[in-house]
Structure 1
Amino acid sequence: MKGLVVAFVLMGLFASSCWAADIRVNGLFGGSAVLVINGKQRLLKQGQTSPEGVTLIDSNSRRAVVELDGRQMTLGLSDHISSSFQAAEMAEVRIPRAENGHYFVSGFINGRPADFMVDTGATSIAMNLHHAEQLGVNFRRGRKGSASTAGGIVNAYHIPLQKLTIGNITLNQVDATVVVGDFPSQILLGNSFLSRVEMSEEEGVMVLRTKF
């Protein structure tokens, strides 16, 4: 997708947990990734586990999802995590501003990968019918209603998403609106998520942090 900028994700693990491997992302492809694990370069395909015990869960040209010891992490190109890394308890996601002035980030809806555009003017997570069908969102079980778009008032379904993950921030029961039609072309990360995290901007980088 044009203009998509990968979020630089700082993975917040609890102080009692750490990774048993040193992992760096050297290459990203659809369904595979080049990882340097404990100094050894590994080309892993989706679902494959390295001799070090690192499993590639999902990968595209923007990010890879890896799993080690039952814990998953999203990494962008050149991102690095080591066994000596002991993160603070507060989860944090940093999203660079794209050239068009918007903020784009990858994440997961109910465990399925999705790409978002941050929209502080959107009341909730917003997506079109095609997005919902791709993500397996059973929108017809939601509450029928309407949504205001640039083209006027359109039919919509309002439904809570069971789980929404951006980087290492996961929220449950996040309100979403599924718009009947092709709008919006990009899934919008709206205030049903943003209002539940701390949000700030630092020199062109949007920073999201968990609230306590």
Structure 2
Amino acid sequence: MKQKFAVILLGVIGLTGSLPGWSMPEIQVNGLFGGSAVLVINGKQHLLKQGQTSPEGVTLLESNSQQAVLLVDGKRLSLGLSDRISASFHAAEKAEVRIPRAENGHYYVSGYINGRPVDFMVDTGASAVAMNMHDAQRLGVNFRRGIKGNASTAGGIVNTYHVDLDKLTIGNITVHQVRSTVVIGNFPAQVLLGNSFLSQIEMSEEAGVLVMRKKY
């Protein structure tokens, strides 16, 4: 069964148009799920379900894998996959994404290929981002204009195409011209986030959490 995990987010945005005397708590989205969200509010982490309110007065109205809708001091706020809100604007030191490890030991993360949503499995053993022909067609990847080749799988030798993806985005990290392999057939069942992307970022593991950072 596929598992979906939202990335932990450290992007930063500023808040404008606040009322005089209204103090916005610092809110950071650490996880987005259907019907719940992990929020860090003024440095304290909370797992809120829809309708619940944190001790700081932040209410989670709605949540899915793409965004959380919050009610803060009567104001309705939507936080997307790269958003963090605080009382004052400050720039992030470095783009960073944190991915919790799934029960099966793998890391799963949602992202975008050429602006279209896709669910990845992180695979450090894959030389390139890899997908089957059906995922490529869904994502608008014109693989038949790429370089034809073949690969050995458990089911035998399969035909492949090598093509560069214009843009691949995970959280607030974007890499351009990412080499990919498109397999003719149904393998792999899930798009693999391979080393053609991973080699262009910094990676480390902290207590079961995979940390990705932009190099520059």
Match of 2:144, SS state, is: helix
Equivalence map 1:181-196=2 (5 Å): 181-196=185-200
With normalisation by structure 1, the TM-score equals 0.73
Rounded to whole Å, the distance in 1 between the matches of 2:86 and 2:200 is: 29
The residue aligned with 1:5 is: 5
The Cα shift of 1:142 comes to 0.8
C-alpha displacement of 1:33 = 5.8
Cα distance in 2, alignment partners of residues 112 and 40 from structure 1: 34
Q: Distance in 2 between matches of 1:118 and 1:134?
A: 20
User: Residue type of the partner of 1:3?
Assistant: Q
Aligned-CA RMSD value = 2.6
SS in 2 for 1:18: coil
Q: Which runs of 4+ in 1 moved over 4 A?
A: 21-25
1:147 aligns with 2:134: no
Task: Using the TM superposition, give the Cα deviation of residue 83 of structure 1 relative to its aligned residue in structure 2, in angstroms.
Answer: 4.7
What letter matches 1:28 in structure 2? S
In structure 2, runs of 5+ residues without a counterpart are 18-23, 30-36, 38-59
One-letter amino acid of the counterpart of residue 201, structure 2: V
Report what 2:16 is aligned to.
20
The structure whose Rg is larger is: 2
Conserved 8 A contact 2:14-2:85: no
1:1-212 equivalences in 2 (<5 Å) = 2-11=2-11, 13=12, 18-20=14-16, 26=60, 27-29=62-64, 35-36=69-70, 39-40=73-74, 42=76, 65=80, 74=81, 80-84=84-88, 86-212=90-216
- After TM superposition, give the deviation of residue 19 of structure 1 in Å: 4.3
Aligned residues: 177
Q: CA deviation at 1:141?
A: 1.0
8 A Cα contact 2:10 2:92, kept in partner: no
The structure-2 alpha-carbon separation of the partners of 1:34 and 1:95, relative to structure 1 and needing over 3 Å to count, comes to: closer
**For the structure 1 residues 92 and 113, does the alpha-carbon distance in structure 2 shift closer, same or farther, using more than 3 Å as the test?**
same
Inter-partner Cα distance in structure 1 for 2:195 and 2:67: 33
Task: Give the letter aligned to residue 93 of structure 2.
Answer: E
Q: SS of 2:186's equivalent?
A: coil
- 1:160-187: CA deviations, max 9, x gaps? 0000000000000000011000000010
CA contact (8 A) 1:143 1:158 kept: yes
Q: Distance in 1 between matches of 2:181 and 2:3?
A: 24
TM-score for the superposition, normalised by structure 2: 0.72
SS in 2 for 1:130: helix
